[in-house]
Structure 1
Amino acid sequence: MSGERRRVMILAYFYPPLAGGGVHRVLSFTRHLPAHGWDCTVVCAGPDDSWIRDPSLLDRVPAGTEVLRVGGGSGLALLQRLRGARTSATRSSTTIGWLRRAVDWFAFPDSYAGWAARARAVAARRLARGDISVLLSSSPPDSSHLAARSLARRFGLPWVADFRDPWVGLHFRTPPTPWHRARHRAAERAVVAEAAVVLAASHTHERELQALRGRDGRPLARSVVWLPNGYEPANAAASADAESPPRSRDGGAPTASTESRFLLVFTGTLALMDSTFTALEALARFVRARPAARSQLQMVLAGPYESSYAQRVAALGLADLVRLTGSLAHDQARALQRKADVLLLWKPLGVGYRTMVPGKLYEYLDAGRPILALLPSDDEAARMVLDAGGTVVPPGDAAAVERALEAAFGSWLQGGRVPERRPAWLTGHARERLAAELAGTLETIVKGRR
């Protein structure tokens, strides 16, 4: 690293007080890059422009971070507001379903395109003042990459395209027509080809990006770098609020104590998560076969959720066993992970999601608790779970989940809580270390342009 300080401009819709899995990667950049000579300017959404918020995260934004908020939200959020929906910890599965379909047809590359255009204008005014060495865009949404591509061309700056997930319109969604598919494919290829460096959050996605070829048969990307999501080491001196039991979604009284119960925990957003239904079905089967266990266990699904999950809990007669907490402060979610007897992991189903390693997996591993994952056996995240001594069962196989629950519950009955266990390699994935690697990449880009 050179002795002079530099500044990176980051275009990322999700930034505190907005919450959700995508926030923490960019937040970690801004927390740890300054220690390596890189100051940060963030162009992000407004403070109310998502249904998931965690104001406590604002305390983690360094005082020296320049934050340029561009309000208005996404097209999807606007449609929800027009229908009378408000920012909350829950949303209607029916409403969001038809809105997603409308977006697939009429918004390109996603419902954030309008925000990206406004953000591009704000970023351009800031860039005109000078002192920015590198642009970095982080997706989803993929609109942020197209905005950064335009700015990089206009201002002649090097640009890093950070893919937390693959191009959503191609890999996580099904384009409604061949024309839509071709547009998404062309946009993805343009981003990969023009960025000075492309960051991938999983090895699977890294390999897919490296395999892309131009018309001349050469690699499409100039450079692809694997930068995993990583984790912030758990704070042993957690606040009293973080250690308190999770509150109900309406902010009322805390849930019943789980200290004497076998505790199953999932943390994260429940949307497009069909494996949640499999886990609930397995739990229902488990307690039907073992009525005495009903008073000895609890499942906590901690995070914002769509209404279909609460409906399924009620339909299966599990309201006394399953808690849907709604949004929790991040410290509370981490504390709940550490209290779990088994941590539950799954992700959306479909071939396109094979590249996804959920950010929460690194937090789960840091918690040191046993993990039960509903994942394909050849999935990258599944291999990480197995390496840590966890259990992996096929998605959709309620019988296999029931058997895994029986084994874990039986072990708990006989011996109590199992000791914590963390893989030896995990410390290398602390976000402070990953930020140091990113700083080195940024420095190499700047030196390469001299």
Structure 2
Amino acid sequence: MSIENKNNWLLLSHAFNMDGRAASLTITDKIPYLLDAGIKPVVFSAITGIKDQRFPHQQFLAWGPSAFRFDFRHWIANKFGRGFIYKLLTRTVSILLAPLIAIEKLLLGYSSQWSWALPAFVRGYILIRRGKVDVIYSIGSAWSAHLAGVWLKRATGLPLVSEVHDPLVIRKDPNDQGFELPKNRDARFRHYLESQLCKYSDYVWWFTDGALQYAKVRNPNLNTPGNAKGFSVIPGANPPGSIEGHSSHQYGQYLNLCHFGSLANDRSLSIILRAADSLFAKYPEAREHLRIHAYGAPLDRLSLEAIDQYEFSDILRAHGRLERDPTTGKSGREQVAERMQAADVLILLHGNDEWCAEYIPSKFYDYLWAGRPIWGITHRNPQLDQMLLDRGSYLSSDGDNAGINMALERIWLDWQQKQLIEPIWKPIGVDQAVRSILSHIAYQKVAS
């Protein structure tokens, strides 16, 4: 179906205008290009972000208790910070809602944000009946946006375009195609929701070739007449914060390896610490100069255990999430940008789960703007590997301990000689993603 001359778009995005959140940046960075294309958006989101003033932006509390608790915490943090008032109010609300949350989990077992689909559908339906909407645009990562989009499509018949950030179906191993229904109720519903998107969306896209490939295997109706047209889009990123171009690098006293983003036991800095222990055994002087910095999230359990095992409390420094600085006025994203450009090497941990074949960390696109060498430790994703190699990077495979040790040794020797890899300046912007999307859906701007 052509979206020609359909300019009034309803954007369903649970996360919107949330500083530094990947799920938010993936859509908010697109907004200027969508506006330039003549699209007139109305945004529905949770209350967790900052209300946009450029166009109608309605924020809703989810109707379920667990989602209410989640959204309330972020809203209070935005209003009052994370001090005494935050702790008092959030703990009180958590205690009051605990029985209802237990009942919700027992009866449904879905992820907390599912119930945001309810107010999004009701308010969206009213808006559509008033003739204010031409196109429905559902945006991950919270799948409640897609659920609301499917409901609105079926209730009104308006065109639905869907942007799937993370795979809805998580496979277990390379031989698993994702056909088997999971036992977990949330996973089972996501499996069902993927089939609904492939049936009822007019257009649906994923962020990697692997995700599109496996979705096609599970949904052979995809790209057939009367069903969704599916394709892949590299999302890219706008320059984070104040980054505007490639800058020269100053070598200092320390070799600073920096990781930005979430950590978990399957995406852990422990593999870097293990390699550092081997490096120090071969080059004892390296211990006085190597420093590893973690920004954006608490350390995972395996990293904490490795710090204790190797006595590396001085080697790995956890800075946590960078929030807006009231003194300088810099946002968390601007501070992250500064630290990225100051790094000697940026660490990109891909993980070791099977879903890595369908996933590229969003932080990768921010890294490309920093102009610093990337050390990618990847897992079964030729698309990501090729993008790293095309730009000049240190590349290792997760699970290959010898290869990871060799990569860190090479980085150490290159740093000593002040000859770290000079990356090829090839960032991937959001403009190309919007052009690709609008081309696929045959959208044309109304002549003024």
- TM class by shorter chain equals 0.7 to 0.9
2:304 corresponds in structure 1 to: 311
Secondary structure class of the residue paired with 1:305: coil
Using the TM superposition, give the Cα deviation of residue 420 of structure 1 relative to its aligned residue in structure 2, in angstroms.
4.3
Q: Return closer, same or farther for 1:290/1:360 CA change in 2, 3 Å cut-off.
A: same
Segment of structure 1 superposing worse, 268-277 or 70-79:
70-79
- From 274, 284, 290, the counterpart of 2:283: 290
1:158 corresponds in structure 2 to: 159
**Deviations 1:114-154 (Å, cap 9, x if unpaired)?**
12222222333333332211111112222221111101122
Using the TM superposition, give the Cα deviation of residue 64 of structure 1 relative to its aligned residue in structure 2, in angstroms.
1.7
2:233 corresponds in structure 1 to: 227
Q: Return closer, same or farther for 1:314/1:211 CA change in 2, 3 Å cut-off.
A: closer
Distance between the aligned counterparts of 1:177 and 1:187, measured in 2? Answer: 15
Preserved contact between residue 28 and residue 435 of structure 1 (Cα < 8 Å): no
**Deviations 1:227-281 (Å, cap 9, x if unpaired)?**
211021366677xxxx9xxxxxxxxxxxxx9943111111112245434221222
1:66 corresponds in structure 2 to: 56
Which runs of 5 or more residues in structure 1 are unaligned? 49-57, 90-101, 244-256
Secondary structure class of the residue paired with 1:112: helix
Q: Return closer, same or farther for 1:295/1:341 CA change in 2, 3 Å cut-off.
A: same
Distance between the aligned counterparts of 1:33 and 1:216, measured in 2? Answer: 26
1:352 corresponds in structure 2 to: 355
Q: Return closer, same or farther for 1:258/1:132 CA change in 2, 3 Å cut-off.
A: farther
Using the TM superposition, give the Cα deviation of residue 75 of structure 1 relative to its aligned residue in structure 2, in angstroms.
6.0
1:105-120 alignment, distance < 5 Å: 107=108, 109-120=110-121
Distance between the aligned counterparts of 2:70 and 2:52, measured in 1? Answer: 32
Secondary structure class of the residue paired with 1:343: strand
Output the TM-score relative to the length of structure 2: 0.77
Provide the identity percentage.
19
Using the TM superposition, give the Cα deviation of residue 380 of structure 1 relative to its aligned residue in structure 2, in angstroms.
2.2
Secondary structure class of the residue paired with 1:354: helix
Distance between the aligned counterparts of 2:277 and 2:68, measured in 1? Answer: 38
Secondary structure class of the residue paired with 2:379: coil
Preserved contact between residue 47 and residue 59 of structure 2 (Cα < 8 Å): yes
Segment of structure 1 superposing worse, 363-372 or 351-360:
363-372
Secondary structure class of the residue paired with 2:112: coil
**Deviations 1:170-193 (Å, cap 9, x if unpaired)?**
679997628776554333211111
In structure 2, what residue type is equivalent to 1:122? R
Secondary structure class of the residue paired with 1:264: strand
Output the TM-score relative to the length of structure 1: 0.76
Which runs of 5 or more residues in structure 2 are unaligned? 84-102, 323-331
Pairing 1:413–2:408 present: no
Using the TM superposition, give the Cα deviation of residue 37 of structure 1 relative to its aligned residue in structure 2, in angstroms.
0.2
1:322 corresponds in structure 2 to: 316
- From 189, 194, 208, the counterpart of 2:200: 194
1:425-444 alignment, distance < 5 Å: 426=427, 429-444=428-443
1:163-312 alignment, distance < 5 Å: 163-167=164-168, 177=183, 183-214=189-220, 221-233=227-239, 259-271=252-264, 273-305=266-298, 308=301, 311-312=304-305
Preserved contact between residue 14 and residue 44 of structure 1 (Cα < 8 Å): yes
- From 373, 378, 386, the counterpart of 1:370: 373
Distance between the aligned counterparts of 1:220 and 1:285, measured in 2? Answer: 58
Using the TM superposition, give the Cα deviation of residue 400 of structure 1 relative to its aligned residue in structure 2, in angstroms.
2.5
Using the TM superposition, give the Cα deviation of residue 294 of structure 1 relative to its aligned residue in structure 2, in angstroms.
2.0
Segment of structure 1 superposing worse, 273-282 or 323-332:
273-282
In structure 1, what residue type is equivalent to 2:317? R
2:138 corresponds in structure 1 to: 137
Preserved contact between residue 195 and residue 219 of structure 2 (Cα < 8 Å): no
Pairing 1:24–2:25 present: yes
Preserved contact between residue 8 and residue 134 of structure 1 (Cα < 8 Å): yes
Secondary structure class of the residue paired with 1:369: coil
What is the number of equivalent residue pairs in this alignment? 402
In structure 1, what residue type is equivalent to 2:216? Q
Preserved contact between residue 169 and residue 184 of structure 1 (Cα < 8 Å): no
